[in-house]
Structure formats: C-alpha cells, structure tokens
Structure 1
Amino acid sequence: MTALAFVDLETTGATATSDRITEIGIVEVDADGTVREWQQLVNPGTHISPFIENLTGISNAMVATAPPFAEVAEDVLRRLKGRLFIAHNARFDYGFLKNEFKRSGIEFRAPVLCTVKLSRALYPEFKRHSLDSLIERHGLIANGRHRALADAQLIHQFWQRIHAERSGEEIDAALRKLNTYPSLPPHLDPAIIDELPETPGVYLFYGEASEHGELPLYIGKGKNIRNRVLSHFSADHRSAREMTLAQQTRRIDWIETAGEIGALLREAELVKTRQPTQNRQLRRNEDVCTWTLIDAGDGWLKPELRLAADLDFGIGNACYGLFKSPREATQTLRKLVDAHQLCDILSGLDRQVGNKPCFGHQTRRCKGGCVGKEPLAKHSMRLMGAMVTLKLASWPFPGPAIIREGDEAHLIDGWRYLGSARSDNELHALLELKRPPFDRDIYKILSKQIALMKALPGR
C-alpha cells in the first residue's frame, strides 16, 4: 500500500498566488494502515474578510496568535513527503501549499490525486461530485464543514468507502486513467515521482550501462515533465513499445526549460547528438535536400537539387521544399510538373535528345517549351508559380537573433539553433561556437514560431 496524505486547507480567498492559508488539516495513512491526524491554524499575515469568517468560522482573532506558514513549513513538509497527496479539488489545495512553500524557499512536489476526478471516474452516473454530494451519496459522517481537519477526514472516509464498494481492479484502473498512481518500471526508485518537476523541459530514459557507457533509450519533451513521464508508464499495458520502454528503463534524467520552445529545440538537438535507440523521429538528417532554381540563360530557370548542408540555407538562396531523399524530391516535382503542364526537359526531369520534344509534349501535357512553342521566360514564370507552395521562409534577420522565453534566451542564426542562455556571459559564449549544420526539424520548429517571437539582433 502507498503512504497517503488526505489534505484540506482553509484560506483567505480562492487565488493561490495572492490569498493565504488560514488552517491546515492532514490525515496521514502509512503503508501499514496506521492513521495520524493533524490540524494547525496559520496566521495569513493579511485580513480575513467577513464572508470568509462566516464560511469557515475562522476569525481574525483566532489566527492572530497562530504561527505564520514559514514557521510550520518544515512540519507540513515532513507530513507530506513521500506520500500521495489526496484532496477534493486537489488543484486548489496543492496550488496553495506549493506557493506557500515557495515563499519559504522550499521547492515542493508531490504526486497528486483529486477526489472530485476520482468520483467522476468511478461514479459517472452521478452529475454532482462536491464534498456535500459525497456526504449524502455515501453516508459519510461529517464532524464539521469548512474546517480543515473535518474536511480532510471526510476525504479519508470517501477513500475507505470506495474500497468497500468497488474492487481493487476498478480503483487501480481509475487511478491509472487519472495519471496519478502509475505503475512504475520495477527498477525505478518510487521516490522519482516526488522529484519530477512540473515544468516544461526534456526528459531522458536510460537503460543498463554497457561497455560503450550509459546511452539514453528515449528522449522526449513536455509542457509538464512529470505528467509526460508518468504517461509513458500509465500506458504500458496498451502499447508494446511503451511496455518495452518501461521494462528497460533504469534511470530518468531531465532538463528544465523556460517554456515549450526551449523544450522543442533541446529535444531536437539531443535526439541527434545522443541517438537514443527508441526514438523514431527527429533523427539525423544529413541527406536532406531542397530544390533551387538556377539561371540557365535566355530566361530559363531550371530546378537543381542541392543538399541543404551544402547551402547557406535560408540566406541568399530561394529554396523549395525539404526532402528526406532525392527520390522524394523528384516525386514531388513530378507531381507539380504534371499538374501544371510543365515541360519535363525544362524542369530537369528528363534530358533532351537532339531536337526531340519531351514525353509530356507527345501526350499533349507540355505546352512545348522544349521545342520553342512556349517562351522560356513564360515557362519559368509558370514553374515558379507551381513551386511557390514549396517555398521555404528566408532568414528574416541580418545576423543572429534571440528568441526570449521567460528567463532564457534562445540564440538562432540562419535557422540554426546555437543554444540557450540565462546570462549575457552564456550568450556571448554561444556566439563563439561554430555554427551547426542546417537541421530540418529545427527549421520546422522555428518557422512556426518566427511570426510570434520577439527577436533582437544577436550581435
């Protein structure tokens, strides 16, 4: 059995970042079933409104001599550490405690279970899932309402009642669905649940070390690292791939970023440099190629296939499409030539033998540019019109640029990601590094963000 903490708070209002806690109630249940109860009034350091006084019964006079949260923070942390945090509308209680701990200089994390969501999952036939509704529906005994310990006791009673009414399999299935009670891989320390941050970033799964050192099995990213990591393990019974990954995982590491852009960039970079065995996307793409148009004289613009790595991509070059292979590039161009009645020879898909027309002209698809019936300049204009849908964005800045995200600055140059910095010194150090080769995945990430980012010259 997992150690549990049933928690309820009374507060001065509903906003965790500005309102404060006035009372804490915790029912601790150890793995062996031992139960302890604790209640503490807290001086919020601010005025309690008459409405809140009337609702909770906690007056300004009652909390005047109570300790501030900072004085009880270590005691509260000791009672919650290593336990599943269970509360009714848990986001409210967890958010308030997390903010109070942060004000005290303590980073608090815990696996969280909301009994509102659990009630909805187990009893979908009912519309109401408030604490008063649970009292009436399940015959819970209320020793008081809107006082912290009394409400925490009610949540504990609900937990006991569902275990009497439902099978363990039903409850476990509901918990896995809520992603709060995951089945961790057997070789992972359960304490990792408490350590995983609820911030954007990149996470790395490692297997057993080999003679080549410790190599990652899988690298992923998420807006919430904790939720994303646990989702892999809650899904291992549905996917053979996830099950294999869970069985092989021995250690988890992570890198926190300021936001989603940083997570996307770091993931794309790390997958290529670390080459995890289980990643199917974002792998190296040295063979990525693109179409350019070269001036063959007399108004003839001819497509030429170039490796993106050979170009100063996006700077001074008009490029059309990013393709995994020459075959994919040729197939795409062929479809455009057929759809727009272009010439196979002038489009570079066929060679002219003597003065013979291309095959397309023989089948009345080509308008005769290969035999002088259509001016070369006109064919070139139609070709550019056909290829416009493939045209890639040109780098819009005269030099390197910065994407600011929170306290991070992502340094970009010619669609290439140079790295992220949190200080001017780190930023200048990145500018001294050799510019990496063009990467298709980085381009795709940045091209989607470029219209929204606030970019400044990097030097």
Structure 2
Amino acid sequence: MNLLPAYVLLDLETTGATPARDRITEIALIRYENGEEVARWQTLVNPHMPIPPFIQTLTGIGDDMVQAAPDFESVAPRLYQYLDGAVLVAHNVRFDHGFLKHEFQRIGIILRQKVLCSVKLSRLLYPQHRSHGLDAVIQRHQIVVAARHRAMGDVEAVAAFIEAAGRELGEDRVALEVARLMTAPSLPPGLDPSLLDELPETAGVYLFFGADDAPLYIGKGVNLRSRVLAHFSGKTTDMAQAVRRVEWLETVGEFSALLLESHLIKTRQPLHNSLQRRQRQLCAWRLAAAPDIHPQAQLVREDAIDPTALGDLFGLYRSRKHAEEALRGIARNHALNPRLLGLESGDVRASSEPDAQHYLRLKLALAAQRLKDWPYPGKIAVREYDATSQRTQLHVFEHWCYLASVDNEADLHDVLAQRSTPVFDLDIYKLLQQVLLPPAKTGAKPAIGGLEIVHFQDGYDQQKTSSSSQ
C-alpha cells in the first residue's frame, strides 16, 4: 500500500520502559518505498546491562542471547541508512523514537525523524473500538503472529494491520488518515521546528517564554505533546504567537503535574496565568469566641490562617471585598443583622434579638461554608505510579499543606522527621479535596487515577488507606 513515498516499520525490544535508563536489546524493521518493500533487517543488540527477569520472560531474549551481539554503536550506521529519508512508523512510536533518540545521542548523533504512530492510525480508522494496543489490533483483525514480543514479529503484525485496514476500508481512506496524521501544526515563526519531534507524549508541565525570555504561560497536561501543540492549532492567540521558547518538565502523572504547575506559577509569576498567581489577600471568616463579642464574624487574613485549625474557619476568599460580599449575601438570605456582623456601622444594642440567638443562626448559616479539618492523625503521602515509565513519586502533606516530594520511600525518613511550619495554599487545599478521602471512605477511588494514599504510623511504617486501579 502506497501510504508515503518512503517509510520504515520498526519495533524495538528493550530492557525496560525508560529511555534515559534502559537500553535496546533487539531491532527489526521493514523499509517501504512507493508502496513496495525494499529492505528487511533485524539484529540483537548488546545492551551492556542485565535484562530483568520479567523482560526475559516477556520477550524470550536472555542475557546469554545478547552477550555476543553487537552494541548499538556498531549497528547505528546501518540503522541510520535504513531510516534516512523515511518516515518512522511504529505502534506507540514515541516509545521507539524515544529510545532511538537516546541511543543515537549517546554516540553524538542527533536524530531528527518524522514519525507516524500506528496506534493513532488505528484510532482514526476504527473509532468504534476502545482498545488499540497491538494485542487488541491482532485479535480484531485475526492476524497470525509468528513471534509476539519479538521485534520482527511485532513489525510484521503492524504491516498486516495496515494491509487489513486497506482491504476493509479502502486504501484511499487509509492514505487520507495517514496524511491527516502527518499534517504538522503551524508553529509561530520564532519557535524551533525541532519542537515537533522532541515533545514527549507524557504527563508534565510546560513553560512558554517570550522574546525577552520572560515567562508568558505555564500549563500542565497528561500528554505534553498534544497539549502544547493545541496552543498552536487553528486560530492561535496573541500569547501563542509571542512564544519564542518552550521548556517542559516530565512528571510521573497528572497529580505530580498539578502540584508542579501550581508551584511554578507562584514562583515564576507568568504574565498570562493571572488567575492562578499568588494573591496575598486570601482570607476567611471565623466566629467570635462568644456571642457577646462584636462583630460576631471576624475576618482572618492569609498570614493568620492556622492550617491545623481550618475547621474553625468558614469560606476561603481571594480578597476582603469578596469575603464581605459573600457575607452580605448570607446575611440577606438568613435575615442576619449586618451591624452584628460588622458589615455596617451603628449601635449593635439596638437589635431586639438576643446575641446568643443571632450567634446561633449565624453559625447555622455559615455551616455550609465550613472548611474541613485534616482527616488524618499526622502526615500522609500520595504515591503516584506510572506503569509505562515504571516511575514512582511520593508527595508528602500535613494539614492540607504540601511538604515535599521524594522519588523513593528510602528518602521519606528525612521528610517525615522535619519540623517545619506548614504554609497554607488555597490551590493545594482544593487539589487535595479531589484526592484525599476521610478514613471512613477507605477503599473508594480518588478522583485522579494511579494514586495511593498512604498514612504513617509510629516508626514511619506505611499503610495504604485508599487506592485507584492502575
């Protein structure tokens, strides 16, 4: 099938899922030109590192098989020839492309390759199906595979899928969707075109910088590539046209990205994140200690908010003006005396209602606005795990406040032993409201997937209190 002038179907087997850490153990490819197969090549590769037992079981490639195989540097010239002038096609191409870029980079070569993902092609061609992994594609099209999880076996499976799609839907339809996938977004003139090849399809945070290298915008996405390119698709904004440089930081998952985004917005103060930048006027309402203390509602500013006693506060507002407007609305709806609330001047003794009765009605009126006390006896961690990268990160919190993040449980001791003063942050409080569940609801799934909530007992023992399926 003549999809492209030249393309290479490729598959890699590796020691793991992380390009920066793991290495290639097998390469297989078929090169097509003008719809005809012109070359076919496969080789084992010595990764110069042990192959984990799980990977050996999955692929059938053991340490003994690669011991005498050439290393990547030895096969790189031949591989580069096969890739030259062709589009790289693979099932989940970002995985294979990422490994190739890292391997070439280790030997001083920058790989710039146009890519096409056959997973995305399957989604466009067969939107009625939910799963588009290679196993699902093989089953759906009844493809006979000689050696699943070996590089050439998987390459042949992708080739058979493309042929089957051409028979079922017509070659013109397949070619149309391929052309759609190959249409690159239009980047602003000041951006390096290599951005299209380098953006990863992982969760993380991205930063846009302007001509003076000042931060313009900070955002997050579960797929950095699609999220960043969405800013430059269709009718772009003035902000998007002003972007001259893009940075990104990959994270384990969505929760880690949300935390990092919140932190970077507050520290970098980007121009176009005005709604999320720190506003030091945050405040809440607190009832007076007794009914005869006037005003009965007292404003508490951010620097006086005690995270250990949030249950004594009502509402969280980004300014004194917003807080007073909200309290006036509550007073109107519940026929409360604005003088007793301190919203109007005048003699509070003129009220015919006893202070104690008014105080009780105020307390009931504010009940729906009451903030939540910390539902745990001490520090907890939110553990986020990504099965694809096999990365784990733990984020430690106490009294709704973010304390620190660590990449492994061995580093937790120092974090848990810290005696720092928690700093309250409204955005973190709102984020944790989506994730942390009271102990009474143990077993329920957090709103963000891939998380485990862990609390700590004496001796830093850890106990999982709720989890989501991964």
On whether the aligned pair clears a TM of 0.5, the verdict is yes
* SS of residue paired to 2:309: coil
> CA 1:371–1:232 in structure 2 vs 1: closer, same or farther (change >3 Å)?
same
Unaligned runs of 5+ in 1: 11-15, 47-59, 135-143, 357-369
Cα distance in 1 for partners of 2:158, 2:176 equals 25
Aligned AA (1:305): L
Aligned AA (2:228): V
* SS of residue paired to 1:349: coil
Aligned AA (1:268): S
Aligned AA (2:41): Q
Matched, 1:118 2:121: yes
Matched, 1:450 2:436: yes
Deviations 1:254-296 (A, max 9, x none): 2233332221111111101101122243211211111111124
**2:201–2:225: 8 Å Cα contact kept in structure 1?**
yes
Cα distance in 2 for partners of 1:197, 1:257 equals 11
Unaligned runs of 5+ in 2: 19-23, 46-50, 54-59, 386-391, 438-451, 461-470
> CA 1:324–1:430 in structure 2 vs 1: closer, same or farther (change >3 Å)?
farther
Residue of structure 2 equivalent to 1:255: 249
> CA 1:287–1:428 in structure 2 vs 1: closer, same or farther (change >3 Å)?
same
> What pairs with 1:221-236 in structure 2 (closer than 5 Å)?
221-233=220-232, 236=233
**1:26–1:39: 8 Å Cα contact kept in structure 2?**
yes
**2:310–2:371: 8 Å Cα contact kept in structure 1?**
no
Cα distance in 2 for partners of 1:82, 1:295 equals 77
Residue of structure 2 equivalent to 1:371: 352
State the 1:222 CA deviation.
2.0
**1:259–1:405: 8 Å Cα contact kept in structure 2?**
yes
Among the aligned pairs, what percent are the same residue? 35
Residue of structure 2 equivalent to 1:138: none
Residue of structure 2 equivalent to 1:13: none
Of the structure 1 ranges 271-280 and 195-204, higher mean CA displacement relative to structure 2 is found in 195-204
TM-score by length of 2: 0.63
> What pairs with 1:69-148 in structure 2 (closer than 5 Å)?
71=70, 75=75, 78=80, 84-87=87-90, 90-91=91-92, 113-115=116-118, 117-118=120-121, 121=124
State the 1:445 CA deviation.
1.3
Cα distance in 2 for partners of 1:69, 1:219 equals 48
State the 1:441 CA deviation.
1.0
> What pairs with 1:228-307 in structure 2 (closer than 5 Å)?
228-233=227-232, 236-237=233-234, 239-241=235-237, 244-298=238-292, 302-307=296-301
**1:28–1:36: 8 Å Cα contact kept in structure 2?**
yes
Pick one of 400, 403, 407 that aligns with 1:418. Answer: 403
| Number of residue pairs aligned between Structure 1 and Structure 2 | 400
Which protein has the larger Cα radius of gyration, Structure 1 or Structure 2? Answer: 1
State the 1:193 CA deviation.
4.3
> CA 1:321–1:28 in structure 2 vs 1: closer, same or farther (change >3 Å)?
farther
State the 1:204 CA deviation.
1.6
Of the structure 1 ranges 298-307 and 330-339, higher mean CA displacement relative to structure 2 is found in 298-307
Matched, 1:219 2:200: no
Cα distance in 1 for partners of 2:352, 2:85 equals 80
Cα distance in 2 for partners of 1:246, 1:33 equals 38
Cα distance in 1 for partners of 2:121, 2:182 equals 7
* SS of residue paired to 2:231: helix
RMSD of equivalent CA atoms? 5.7
* SS of residue paired to 1:454: strand
Aligned AA (2:297): P
Cα distance in 1 for partners of 2:308, 2:338 equals 27
State the 1:330 CA deviation.
2.0
Pick one of 401, 406, 409 that aligns with 2:394. Answer: 409
* SS of residue paired to 1:442: helix
Residue of structure 2 equivalent to 1:137: none
State the 1:311 CA deviation.
2.3
Residue of structure 2 equivalent to 1:390: 369
TM-score by length of 1: 0.64
Matched, 1:26 2:29: yes
**2:291–2:359: 8 Å Cα contact kept in structure 1?**
no
State the 1:304 CA deviation.
1.3
State the 1:371 CA deviation.
0.8
> CA 1:118–1:170 in structure 2 vs 1: closer, same or farther (change >3 Å)?
closer
Deviations 1:416-458 (A, max 9, x none): 323323363894599477x574321122112322227223379
Aligned AA (1:386): A
Cα distance in 2 for partners of 1:117, 1:288 equals 45
State the 1:391 CA deviation.
1.0
